Structure 1
Amino acid sequence: MIVAILLVLYGVFAALVLPGLLRRAPWADRAPRLAIAMWQAAGASVVISALLSAFAVAVPASVVGHGLAELFEACAALFHDVVTMSSATTWAGLVVGGLVLARVAYTGSAVVLRTRRERRRHAEALALLGRHDHDLDALVVDYDERLAYCLPGRNGHAVITTGALRSLAPEQVAAVLAHERAHLRGRHHLVLAGAEALARAFPRVPLFEQARVEVARLVELLADDVAARRHQRIHIAAALVGLATGQVPAFALGAGGETALTRVRRMLHPQAPLGRRERIAGRLAVTGLLAGPAALALAPGVAAFLVHHCHSLLS
Structure 2
Amino acid sequence: MIVATVLVLYAIAAVGRLPRLLGRGTWAERAPRLAISIWLAACVSAVASVALAAFAAAIPASVVGHGLAAFFEACAALLSDGDLALSPGARAALLGAVLVVARVTHCGAAVLVRARRERRRHADLLAVLGRHDGGLGAVVLEHDEAAAYCLPGRQGKTVITTAALESLAPEQVAAVLAHERAHLRGRHHLVLAAVEAFSVAFPRLPLFARARDEVARLVELLADDVAARHHPRIHLAAALVRLATGRTPAFMLGAGGETALMRVKRMLAPAVPLGRRERLAGLAMVALLLAGPAAVAAIPGVSSLLAHHCHTLSIF
Q: Please classify the TM superposition score into its range, dividing by the shorter chain length.
A: over 0.9
Q: Indicate conservation of the 8 Å contact 1:172/1:236, yes or no.
A: yes
Query: What SS class does the counterpart of residue 146 from structure 1 fall into?
Result: coil
| Structure 1 residue 78 corresponds to structure 2 residue 43 | no
Deviations 1:57-87 (A, max 9, x none): 11111111112xxx3x425532444433141
Q: Which residue of 1 aligns with 2:176?
A: 176
1:248-267 to structure 2, matched below 5 A, reads 248-267=248-267
Q: Indicate conservation of the 8 Å contact 2:182/2:226, yes or no.
A: yes
| Structure 1 residue 30 corresponds to structure 2 residue 30 | yes
1:92-131 to structure 2, matched below 5 A, reads 92-131=92-131
Q: Using the alignment, how far apart are the partners of 2:26 and 2:9 within structure 1?
A: 27
Q: Using the alignment, how far apart are the partners of 2:280 and 2:134 within structure 1?
A: 42
Q: Using the alignment, how far apart are the partners of 1:74 and 1:145 within structure 2?
A: 64
Q: Using the alignment, how far apart are the partners of 1:192 and 1:114 within structure 2?
A: 13
Structure 2's unaligned 5+ residue stretches are none
Q: Which residue of 2 aligns with 1:151?
A: 151
Paired letter, 1:110:
A
Moved more, 254-263 or 98-107: 98-107
Q: Using the alignment, how far apart are the partners of 2:241 and 2:76 within structure 1?
A: 64
Q: Using the alignment, how far apart are the partners of 1:23 and 1:161 within structure 2?
A: 35
Q: Which residue of 2 aligns with 1:246?
A: 246
Question: Structure 1 residues 303 and 86 mapped into 2: Cα distance closer, same or farther (>3 Å)?
Answer: closer
Question: Residue 313 of structure 1: CA displacement?
Answer: 2.1
Q: Using the alignment, how far apart are the partners of 2:171 and 2:141 within structure 1?
A: 19
Q: Which residue of 2 aligns with 1:140?
A: 140
TM-score (norm 1): 0.97
Q: Using the alignment, how far apart are the partners of 1:80 and 1:304 within structure 2?
A: 21
Q: Indicate conservation of the 8 Å contact 2:59/2:75, yes or no.
A: no
Q: Which residue of 1 aligns with 2:161?
A: 161
Q: Which residue of 2 aligns with 1:40?
A: 40
Q: Using the alignment, how far apart are the partners of 2:20 and 2:252 within structure 1?
A: 28
Q: Which residue of 2 aligns with 1:203?
A: 203
Q: Which residue of 1 aligns with 2:224?
A: 224
Paired letter, 1:219:
V
Q: Using the alignment, how far apart are the partners of 2:242 and 2:34 within structure 1?
A: 29
Q: Using the alignment, how far apart are the partners of 2:287 and 2:196 within structure 1?
A: 22
Deviations 1:180-205 (A, max 9, x none): 00000000000000000000001110
Moved more, 282-291 or 78-87: 78-87
Question: Residue 115 of structure 1: CA displacement?
Answer: 0.5
Q: Using the alignment, how far apart are the partners of 1:6 and 1:88 within structure 2?
A: 21
Q: Indicate conservation of the 8 Å contact 1:37/1:286, yes or no.
A: yes
Q: Using the alignment, how far apart are the partners of 1:230 and 1:37 within structure 2?
A: 24
Q: Which residue of 2 aligns with 1:60?
A: 60
Question: Residue 21 of structure 1: CA displacement?
Answer: 1.2
Structure 1's unaligned 5+ residue stretches are none
TM-score (norm 2): 0.96
Question: Structure 1 residues 80 and 189 mapped into 2: Cα distance closer, same or farther (>3 Å)?
Answer: closer
Query: What SS class does the counterpart of residue 36 from structure 2 fall into?
Result: helix
Question: Residue 25 of structure 1: CA displacement?
Answer: 3.2
Query: What SS class does the counterpart of residue 66 from structure 2 fall into?
Result: helix
Query: What SS class does the counterpart of residue 17 from structure 1 fall into?
Result: helix
Query: What SS class does the counterpart of residue 154 from structure 2 fall into?
Result: coil
Give % identity.
65
Q: Which residue of 2 aligns with 1:269?
A: 269
Q: Which residue of 2 aligns with 1:10?
A: 10
Question: Residue 283 of structure 1: CA displacement?
Answer: 0.2
Q: Indicate conservation of the 8 Å contact 2:150/2:252, yes or no.
A: yes
Question: Structure 1 residues 75 and 301 mapped into 2: Cα distance closer, same or farther (>3 Å)?
Answer: closer
Question: Residue 314 of structure 1: CA displacement?
Answer: 2.1
Q: Indicate conservation of the 8 Å contact 2:58/2:86, yes or no.
A: no
Q: Using the alignment, how far apart are the partners of 2:159 and 2:76 within structure 1?
A: 57
Q: Using the alignment, how far apart are the partners of 1:182 and 1:253 within structure 2?
A: 10
Question: Residue 93 of structure 1: CA displacement?
Answer: 1.6
Question: Structure 1 residues 216 and 44 mapped into 2: Cα distance closer, same or farther (>3 Å)?
Answer: same
Q: Using the alignment, how far apart are the partners of 1:158 and 1:179 within structure 2?
A: 10
Moved more, 22-31 or 224-233: 22-31
Q: Indicate conservation of the 8 Å contact 1:33/1:222, yes or no.
A: yes
Q: Indicate conservation of the 8 Å contact 1:59/1:82, yes or no.
A: no
Q: Using the alignment, how far apart are the partners of 2:41 and 2:291 within structure 1?
A: 10
Q: Which residue of 1 aligns with 2:91?
A: 91
Deviations 1:210-233 (A, max 9, x none): 000000000000000000000000
Q: Using the alignment, how far apart are the partners of 1:150 and 1:310 within structure 2?
A: 60
Q: Indicate conservation of the 8 Å contact 1:58/1:92, yes or no.
A: no
Q: Using the alignment, how far apart are the partners of 2:72 and 2:277 within structure 1?
A: 46
